[in-house]
Amino acid sequence: MSEPWQSHDNYVVIKALENGVTIIGLTRGKDTKFHHTEKLDKGEIMIAQFTEHTSAIKIRGKVELLTRHGKIRNDEQG
């Protein structure tokens, strides 16, 4: 059986809703570490994928996030 990260549908689309959004990729394995960082400005879009190296993505700033599970905005009041 393949690992979940080997699936081709583990993409996320991140749209910055403000300038200076930070996207941080975190590693798999015994010790979780930062392995990649990107900055986005308002309106910029990044497509990211979970891989054998990336187990999590941390986002700082207001974004709209599209996943296979739906759309999430972190600027909405609950």
List the pLDDT tens digit at each of the 78 positions of the chain: 455 545 556 789 999 999 999 999 888 777 777 778 899 999 999 998 877 777 788 899 999 999 888 999 987 665
Q: Cα separations (Å) of 69 from 37, 42, 45, 66?
A: 24, 24, 18, 8
Give the model's pLDDT for residue 28: 74
Q: Cα separations (Å) of 46 from 3, 7, 24, 51, 78?
A: 24, 19, 12, 16, 25
Domain of residue 39, residue span? 4-73
Residue 9 lies in a domain: yes
Residue 78 lies in a domain: no
Give the model's pLDDT for residue 75: 79
Structurally, how many domains does the chain consist of?
1
Contact between residue 64 and residue 72 where contact means Cβ atoms under 8 Å apart: yes
Q: Cα separations (Å) of 31 from 28, 60, 71?
A: 7, 21, 30
CATH code of residue 12: 2.60.40.50
Residue 39 lies in a domain: yes
Residue 64 lies in a domain: yes
